[in-house]
Amino acid sequence: MAAEWGGRERALALTAAGIVILGVMLGRAAQLQVFHGGHYRSLSMQNRVKVIAIPSPRGRVLDRQGTVIAESRPGFALVLTGTSNWRPAVNKAARLLAVDSLGLQSAVRQQRSAYPKDPVKLARDLSPAQVALLEEHLAELPGMRLEYEALRHANYGPRGSHLLGYVSEIGRRELESRREQGYRFGDGIGKAGLERQYETLFRGADGCEYVEVDAHGRVQGGIPQMPELPPLPGVDIVLTVDWRLQLFVESLFEPGLTGAAVALEPGTGRILALVSRPNFDPNLFAGGVAAADWDKLSRDPSFPLWDRAIRSLYPPGSTYKVVTALAALSESLITPEIRMRQSCHGGMRIGNRYFKCWKKGGHGSLDMRQAIVQSCDVYFYQLGMMLGVDRLNRWSAAIGLAKATGIDLPQEADGLIPTTSWYEKRLGKGSVTAGIPANLAIGQGEVLATPLQMASLFAALGKRGLAARPHLLLRAVGPDGRLISGEQLDTVRIPIRPEHLAAVAEALDAVVNQPGGTGRAARVQGVTVAGKTGTSQNPHGDDHSWFVGFAPYEDPVIAVAVLVENAGHGSAVAAPMVGKTIGAYLEMTREGPPSLAAAGAP
């Protein structure tokens, strides 16, 4: 009886324990499914559903006539989305792509350390053969997928590379400041030129699609109840540039020539062409620049990534003599007819130094007009000493030098027109001797300017004092054809008396068209070109060759500055390049510029 009771007791105890366990299980199930069901269903959905971004194509770049200079092209990338046990798949992908697996693993670790849940683009801009191979083995690459991407393409390769700039992968530091704007690792971003200046316009809005994935991260298909959100393309930028002229000016820089050229429209500031040599191919950066390509570009002693048109500062040489002449006229130190006390006999002594003129035999006694025509250094040495450093600085600033022009490109240099305090801060009190303003007056020494600044200055001289801010944007057009932004014209009158501007402009006419003028190589049949040669000393090698001019003299439609490094006299190299540029543009526009009206400009 006792044994029977003991068996019943154990059975009751087991039954009670079973009821308690079942109660706990039912309670936990209720907790999971009833009270926290929504939360866990959401987690399950997150594991089962992935959001795949649909890249937006960047807006196009077009010239004033509608020529497409840059646009987006399709590409494919291998993307890692899995967050656990990814090394075997990465090693397999490295073998298929014939790349270093340790390098891929390092890239994954670096990104995942900062953004552990973001997709990692293991390889970009895959070739058709690579895409086919990966497609064949995709089942062996859990947590990976092939993803479409829109890559930037410069349609003319290196042509116009500095004004266009380039697009490359966003860096970690950039991403920290732009993540809230929707940028992710692997996204392209404008790094230089127009691509950087108008990044917010070029970049559209990515779309997305929802897909179902298995436990290994492989895509199983779309989800009908979650429709795709299409991407919104970026804004098209229409430029003031005439691409025909751009290509022509590029062709004038023969292999081995280093320098820059700027052509713009006086009175409006519209950039017609902007060239810097040597150049580079923006397409190298589109899918992430290869290490070998970057090493070659960054180690190249000619600095092909550097925009010489807006960032390089050069002594302007004798092209600066127009500033010295205008300053002396404005200060009533001379009249156009006055001759200097000392005639030119090939040089003059200033203090304990002998300052040479470029013409060893000298120019004799000259008035201002002939001093500009023949580019007599001795005449301008004397003007420089009469003016002094600070008045040269003041009038240079009034005319528009010593500060950036404000062109819509990043990283434009300011230029330099030194003052007495500038010298004393560097060289000490009493450091400004008579020889310093004499040297500055001929565009040597510490006076520095960019080719863009000189083109803008001569454009204002051609328009008899009407200065216009140089710019590239003609209009910005949305994907629906809506005008987003129009051209912004910004003009000002420089504070120089009309008769003084006229006197200097007449001298520039004579530089090109009078017998004995230094700029006769810039002449163009059927049109009057005006301008000034310059040969600037270079402490690192041969002299630089300058010419800056405009045409037609009576009412110019184009101003051009050409600077060729280490090329010698401006009359021999830069002047004929400017003449050819002016002639080509006038021929191109002989029937007028209907392209501007077509592009929506005023």
Q: Among all residues, which ones are annotated catalytic?
A: 318
Q: Are the C-beta atoms of 342 and 366 separated by less than 8 Å?
A: no
Query: Dihedral (C-alpha) 193, 198, 202, 208: value to the nearest 10 degrees?
Result: 110
Exposed / middle / buried, residue 226 (Cβ in 10 Å: 0-12, 13-18, 19+): middle
- Other residues' Cβ atoms within 10 Å of the Cβ of residue 413: 18
Q: Are the C-beta atoms of 503 and 368 separated by less than 8 Å?
A: yes
Torsion angles phi and psi, residue 212, rounded to 5: -95, 135
Provide the token pair at 110: 């670096």
- Other residues' Cβ atoms within 10 Å of the Cβ of residue 302: 10
Q: Are the C-beta atoms of 342 and 355 separated by less than 8 Å?
A: no
List the one residue out of 274, 262, 260, 273 whose CA is nearest residue 302: 260
**Amino acid residing at 478:** G
Peptide bond just before 278 cis, omega within 30 deg: yes
List the one residue out of 336, 266, 286, 200 whose CA is nearest residue 494: 266
Q: How far apart are CA 602 and CA 488, in angstroms?
A: 10
DSSP summary character for residue 463: T
Token pair 């201002």 is found at 368
Q: Are the C-beta atoms of 75 and 84 separated by less than 8 Å?
A: no
DSSP summary character for residue 429: T
Instruction: Look at residue 118 and give its three-state secondary structure.
Output: coil
Provide the token pair at 570: 């401006």
DSSP summary character for residue 520: G
List the one residue out of 300, 253, 245 whose CA is nearest residue 276: 253
Q: How far apart are CA 341 and CA 363, in angstroms?
A: 14
How many Cα neighbours within 13 Å face the side chain of 309?
31
Complete DSSP assignment for 296-331:
HHHH-TT-TTS-TTTT--B--GGGGHHHHHHHHHHT
Beta strand spans in 399-537 (E): 466-468, 473-477, 483-486, 491-493, 530-536
Torsion angles phi and psi, residue 192, rounded to 5: -155, 165
Q: Do strands 68-80 and 120-123 pair parallel, antiparallel, or not at all (unpaired)? A: antiparallel
Positive/negative CA dihedral, 383, 387, 393, 395: negative
Task: Quote the Cα angle for 565-272-453, to 5°.
Answer: 50
Exposed / middle / buried, residue 62 (Cβ in 10 Å: 0-12, 13-18, 19+): buried
